[in-house]
Chain A
Amino acid sequence: MIEFLNSIQNSLIYKNFFLILSGLDNTILLLLISLPVGFVLALLFALGRVSKIALISRTIASYIFVIRGTPLLVQIYLIYFGLGSVKFIRESFLWYALKEPFWCGVIALTINTVAYGAEIFRGGIQSIEKSQVESGLSLGFGKFLLLRKIILPIAIRKVLPSYGNELILMVKATSLVSLTTYMEMTGIARKIMAKTFAPVEAFIAAGILYLFLNFLMVQFVKYLEWKYNPHLRLNN
């Protein structure tokens, strides 16, 4: 038994696992900032997208078009390498954030998720039946109250499954930040693969951690769906 345990402890997967685990907090840190900020901004952008003022909705539509049409890697590089090469940005206060790969990653991820999230929420907002808005109006709801009590709750719970998908894509997207020298799980896995030339072991170790993160994300979304769709629960 002890021999067996020793052989596990000496195995490459076991060692890699703890090496890569040390990058988990960096991955989570990226998500902890970009996901909540992205959620709030995506809601605001979705509202702007469906607004009747052409200037706002057109601007947001073109923003979404550009972000969804280009790879995230281009966006990350543009922020990390591109903006850093502009002189007046290097001399402004922005440089305090943009010189750090971490903040570049957070900004790029947020910009990206806002575009996808806004499109998802727009679908949710536009799928609300008119009668529900009208009944709110007939009860004398103001615009803000209508938004807070009727439009947003219905829209958000309708799009929870597809927003959950976006959240999982975001977990995977954090791996790209490793290309700006920010050492999160994929960055460490790459280092191990290049050093030991045992890619499978590093892949398994990192893969388990990513699958675990995504599993947690799925459970979280499932819980939210359960909580905010009480009318769909089987046993009431």
Chain B
Amino acid sequence: MFKFDKLIFGDAGWGDEFLIATLMTLLVSILSMGLGLFLAIITVWAKIIQNRITRFIANFYTTVIRGVPELLVIYLIFFGGNAVVMSIAKVFGYNKYIELNALTIATIAIAVISATYSSEVLRASYLAISKGQIEAARSLGMNKFSIFFKVISPQVIRHALPGIGNVWQITLKDTSLISVTGLVEIMRQSRISSNVEHSPLTFLITAAILYLCLTTISGRVFKTLEVNYSKGFST
């Protein structure tokens, strides 16, 4: 039932393919988490500055993306991403056919989803910083940049770390949906292998174990980071 011999490394088994697929999953997760955090910072900024239009756009974005299934967002970017990029290129006078590769589409799609979750986490931790600190920094003559990097960021990171850890887990698991676009990550690899070997159980269980390892290990990493960042506040 479970064919261990199919998982050896080399030509006879799928071990090396799965290793590459695991690295691909990690790569997509890290890239889209990074891009997602960047988008999330912009979203939070749009929500906290006193501007009705930016706040409306940011709220609309987070409400819609969190309210529709992730798969639908991935389909939208998978089928529509090329057209958007091509129409932007046309503005700059480039008329040839452009095709985004699967990794780019995957990264953008997962980042767009992950950013909505990150933005909620970041916003909550920004609001947890008392206003007095920002006023104190300003009274010391710090400019906007040093306030952001020396006062706000360190505290936001500490407050947000547990939440960001959760978002990371969600992002990691969401990358499995990317298999529908044809990018060979763990899920896609397990489908390919099981189609060749006619043994879905073996490879799907392998995929499950790989995901379990990834989530467990990264959970540990985030625990360590949390301890590290809250040193000054340890009880």
Contacts and interface: CB of A to CB of B under 8 A. Distances in A.
A207 B72 contact: yes
Give the residue among A70, A75, A85, A175 with the most B Cβ atoms within 10 A.
Answer: A70
Interface string B49-83: 00000000000000110011111110110111001
B177 A189 contact: no
| Residue among B78, B194, B208 having the largest count of chain A Cβ atoms under 10 Å | B208
Contacts of A215: 67
B200 A82 contact: yes
Interface stretch (A91-99, A134-142, A195-203, A221-229): A195-203
B174 interface: yes
Q: How large is the interface on A (under 10, 10 to 19, 20 to 34, 35 or more residues)?
A: 35 or more
A70 B67 contact: no
B67 A210 contact: yes
A39 interface: no
A175 B201 CA distance: 23
B27 interface: no
B155 interface: no
Given A70-B211, A85-B201, A175-B70, 14 more contacts: A71-B174, A74-B204, A77-B204, A81-B204, A84-B200, A85-B199, A172-B68, A172-B70, A175-B69, A193-B79, A203-B68, A203-B73, A206-B68, A207-B67
Interface of B: 1, 63-64, 67-73, 75-76, 78-80, 83, 173-174, 176-177, 179-180, 187, 190-191, 194, 198-201, 204-205, 207-208, 211-212, 215-216
Summarize B's interface: helix, strand, loop or mixed.
helix
A70 B79 contact: no
Q: Is the interface of A mostly helix, strand, loop or mixed?
A: helix
Contact of A74 (B72, B75, B180, B208): B208
Contact of B212 (A69, A82, A193): A69
Interface string A136-175: 0000000000000000000000000000000010001111
